[in-house]
Structure 1
Amino acid sequence: MPRRDIRVTEDEERAPLRKALRELRERTHAPSAFPTAAQAEAERAARRRPRLPAYDATGLPLFTLDPPGVRELGRALHLTRRPGGGYRVHYAVADIAAFVTPGGALDAEAHRRAVTVHYPDTRVPLLPLVLCEDAASLLPDHDRPALLWELDLAADGSVVRADLRRALVRSHARLDHAGAQRAIDTGTAEEPLVLLREAGLLRRELERALGGVSLNAPVQEVVRRDDRYLLEYRTPPPTQEWSARLALMTGTAAAGLMLASGTGVLRTLPSLPGDGPLATLRHTARALGVNWPDTLPYPAMLRALAPSHPQHAAFLQRCTGLLHRAGYTVFDRERPTRRPRPADPVHAAVAAPYAHCTAPLRRLADRYALELCLAAASGAEAPEWVRSALDGLPGEMAAGAARAEEAERGCAALVEAAVLRDRIGEIFDAHVVDVVPSRPTAGTVHLRDPAVRGHIEGDGDGPPLPLGHRMRVRLIEAAPGRAEIWFAPA
């Protein structure tokens, strides 16, 4: 699911916002450490030599593409041209099943967590760091067990063949997005990066033709200057979008394999957001000064935005919450009554069947999807430990997603309260983006600068809030970690 990416730039541990974020994790009972048995199991798995695949692909010049300093490297790739036209993409994914024993203490804890939960200053990982940042990570110049996709693309970027096998791989280069983008822009990039751009742009056009929706949301940074917090936005380099499109492409290939085999776990979204959520988003666009003509559909609207524009960036951040309705659907040809094949397996935002299968270091479901794809690609039966876990997987992933969404909402509220904490009593121009149906004098307002929103409560006997229109409001409450943002009519 799309995630609102917020970063805190202050380094001091005692800084007010960092302190409030720590308190948020305590209030929401975010796990701070792994159970002793699970941590010990992870350390034993990291020390011993994992099960190594027979297929040696260490000569394939794979590279990773991640932010600088990140040690959790779960994916590596390589691209070449195919004779006669098109591309061949090798996409290696860390093999967590080589380290985690089904039914063990570590496996149980992974099922309890389900996902890595991100905060602006840290993250609560799915797996112990000794695995996700070391033994299982695709660090450069280390041999690692992996699931290796081999995807053949036609000249228009469509996938014409997909294969998956276990392989021993080695990352030959660790690249970051900014450096890779500079090499492409200056003409010094090696062929795999040039092909990443070509394939990424082709995949963008295919999505547009199908009517899919992708969010190229910027990173929201909270900057502390002169003891005040400011919101700034950092536009990710195009390489980040192109690599994300290859991940989406791999997910659609995985869904195809599982649907053909009759057993799988899909990421599903029945439809794009309806009139209610879109109406609120239209009001938000008006509040931020973003032009959204009534006749322009939501997917086309997103493509028209420029993430480098501050108001467009703020609007794209708000859009990340619209696709949180996506879930997981499991099906099994051996148990068609309990796990029937979905009648409509298409993920509305992708405009195709889709599966999560490229981030097993951060999502539990990916480990199971990869095992099912591996069985489908080889014509073998899926392992029983995979099939037996399918019934509980959607619920576990939904619980993990709920925790991640709660953290995201809490972090956004903290950040926005921090920006306004020294401006109590000031009057702002705002737009009303939502009204409580049972209390028309209560709702939500959105400011343009700074791009924050908060609750508003008027006199119960006063006029109703002017939904979708501007009004003057006075800030009466903004205390990071203690109270949400509240306004009153000015």
Structure 2
Amino acid sequence: MSRFVARGIDFGTVRTEFHLPDGYPPAAVAQARTASDRFASGRQDRTDLAFVTIDPPDSMDLDQALHLERTADGFVLHYAIADVGAVVEPGGVLDVETRKRGQTFYLPDGKVPLHPQELSEGSASLLPGEDRPAVVWRIELDESAEPLSCTVSRATVRSVARLEYSGVQADAEAGRLHPSIASLPEFGRLRTAAAVARGAIELRLPEQEVVPDGDSWRVDLAPRTEADDWNAEVSLLTGMCAAAMMLDAKIGLLRTLPPAGPDAVGALRRTAAALGVDWPESVGVGELLARLDPNSASTLVLMTEAPSLLRGADYAAFDGTLPELTAHAAIGAPYAHVTAPLRRLSDRYSTEVCLAVSAGTPVPSWARDALGSMPEIMGGSDSLASKIDRACIDLTEATVLADRVGETFDATVLRSRNGKRTADVFVPSVSVMAKCVGDPAEGEQVKIRLVSADVAKRTVEFGYPA
């Protein structure tokens, strides 16, 4: 945990800079308040399944609830997703406003939601003890947790418990997991092993986040438990099943990523060699990264370099003709977003495609007609979300360090920019990643001096040697 905090940070400047909306249009809010289930009459009743949700402590926009059963020869997963397509009228003012936003944007002092709170944290959220319209994925898996069959349909569900990642982790370690997820650790570990086998690339970088500290703010590294990874595997599996459905039907929306080029892989191999990391030719990138000691400085360096392998992420909409690229290289398979419709626009439309394919019915025209616009909308909102996140972290870093110019800090050198006499460094005492002027060697533990911290420009710069 960072021991440095800063008061009086105004994240409103970030909202203004990126033209984020302040509130929701009254007509859209009114539509959210009066939203009703357009498919109520045709729903299955699955309130017999004891679904549970797993989310961060403060989340109220609960998209997903799961029920995982261990059988004699495998697993049966039921994954309930908030049925946003049932409560947002196509072409209505609420629908139009969500298309302007694309997704929920998160800032330290609050979020700019995709949907009004009345819907996203109220009538559509899978809150415990409430009957809710949902889209339920049923996936049968074998002993290795590989999918055998998959269907998806509309149903009414009721969550029985709202769980948090840290609590699930503690319960797993104590052997007292909720019965609905008692087999989640086994499932998660099998799916993680399968990901490595298919060449998936999992980056385990220290992820920065801005968190409150009383009436102040600090930068910390986001905690991540095995429970986070197990839960992520449920969502990844569902997205892979959705992509397979869409490809079979030749209509849908995929999340794509081209494979890393030989130059990027070669550069990573040279970095590994320079750090003394053994990397046999027969071992792929994903397998190497999964093997690394998480507490080693060389691991931090390689994880920082590895994103260069994952460039070119995009969305591919198709109807009748498959796109040239269908796979997501980091996942090692075709993949589609379908599990977060309260927070991400595209999931609503992808889900409708899968519902139709599973039922053997035509894709609704309102969803089919929207597919072609999704790559541009989602690509733009993803880029904006990344810029907002980075701006908030940069602002906090600069504010926290503004009165410490001239002080010396311990740091790990993440990347040396050969020929430019600069490097990227990680300073654990303040959880800061920043530029350092000088020429320290990658992977080295060094002492550096804070040269500048400009709050207005949101920049921090260190110097080496100290």
TM-score range with shorter-chain normalisation?
A: 0.7 to 0.9
User: Are residue 56 (structure 1) and residue 45 (structure 2) matched?
Assistant: yes
CA displacement at 1:349 relative to structure 2: 0.8
- Matching of residues 416-435 of structure 1 within 5 Å: 416-426=397-407, 431=413, 433=415, 435=417
Matched-pair contact (CA < 8 Å) for 1:233–1:310: no
1:366 to 335, 347, 354: 347
1:168 to 156, 163, 173: 156
Report the 3-state secondary structure (helix = DSSP H, G, I; strand = E; otherwise coil) of the residue aligned with 1:421.
helix
CA-based RMSD: 3.6
CA displacement at 1:220 relative to structure 2: 3.7
User: Are residue 348 (structure 1) and residue 335 (structure 2) matched?
Assistant: no
- Matching of residues 211-360 of structure 1 within 5 Å: 211-216=199-204, 220=208, 231-272=219-260, 275=263, 279=267, 292-293=277-278, 297-305=284-292, 323=310, 325-333=312-320, 340-360=321-341
2:16 alignment partner in structure 1: 26
C-alpha spacing 1:98/1:201, structure 2 compared with 1 (3 Å): same
Name the aligned partner's letter for residue 422 of structure 1: D
- Matching of residues 373-452 of structure 1 within 5 Å: 373-426=354-407, 431=413, 433=415, 435=417, 440-441=419-420, 443-450=422-429, 452=432
Matched-pair contact (CA < 8 Å) for 1:72–1:361: yes
Deviations 1:66-95 (A, max 9, x none): 12232111101101133x411110000000
C-alpha spacing 1:414/1:292, structure 2 compared with 1 (3 Å): farther
Structure 1 CA distance for aligned equivalents of residues 212 and 179 of structure 2: 41
Structure 1 CA distance for aligned equivalents of residues 214 and 130 of structure 2: 45
Structure 2 CA distance for aligned equivalents of residues 376 and 162 of structure 1: 11
1:142 alignment partner in structure 2: 130
User: Are residue 67 (structure 1) and residue 56 (structure 2) matched?
Assistant: yes
Matched-pair contact (CA < 8 Å) for 2:426–2:432: yes
Name the aligned partner's letter for residue 357 of structure 1: V
CA displacement at 1:320 relative to structure 2: 6.8
1:479 to 454, 461, 464: 454
Name the aligned partner's letter for residue 326 of structure 1: A
- Among all aligned residue pairs of Structure 1 and Structure 2, give the percentage whose two residues are the same amino acid: 35
CA displacement at 1:318 relative to structure 2: 8.1
Report the 3-state secondary structure (helix = DSSP H, G, I; strand = E; otherwise coil) of the residue aligned with 2:177.
coil
Matched-pair contact (CA < 8 Å) for 1:80–1:87: yes
1:205 alignment partner in structure 2: 193
Matched-pair contact (CA < 8 Å) for 1:235–1:307: no
1:186 to 164, 169, 174: 174
C-alpha spacing 1:355/1:405, structure 2 compared with 1 (3 Å): same
Structure 2 CA distance for aligned equivalents of residues 7 and 100 of structure 1: 42
Deviations 1:160-194 (A, max 9, x none): 00000011111122222222222222222244322
CA displacement at 1:331 relative to structure 2: 0.9
Name the aligned partner's letter for residue 161 of structure 2: A
Structure 2 CA distance for aligned equivalents of residues 106 and 285 of structure 1: 54
Structure 2 CA distance for aligned equivalents of residues 224 and 448 of structure 1: 20
User: Are residue 152 (structure 1) and residue 140 (structure 2) matched?
Assistant: yes
Structure 2 CA distance for aligned equivalents of residues 282 and 412 of structure 1: 31
Q: Which runs of 5+ in 1 are unaligned?
A: 1-5, 334-339, 459-464
Report the 3-state secondary structure (helix = DSSP H, G, I; strand = E; otherwise coil) of the residue aligned with 2:173.
helix
When normalised by structure 2's length, the TM-score is 0.86
How many residues in Structure 1 have an aligned counterpart in Structure 2?
459
Deviations 1:429-455 (A, max 9, x none): 77483549xxx5465432444453434
CA displacement at 1:489 relative to structure 2: 6.0
Report the 3-state secondary structure (helix = DSSP H, G, I; strand = E; otherwise coil) of the residue aligned with 2:183.
helix
Which one is further off, 318-327 or 157-166? 318-327
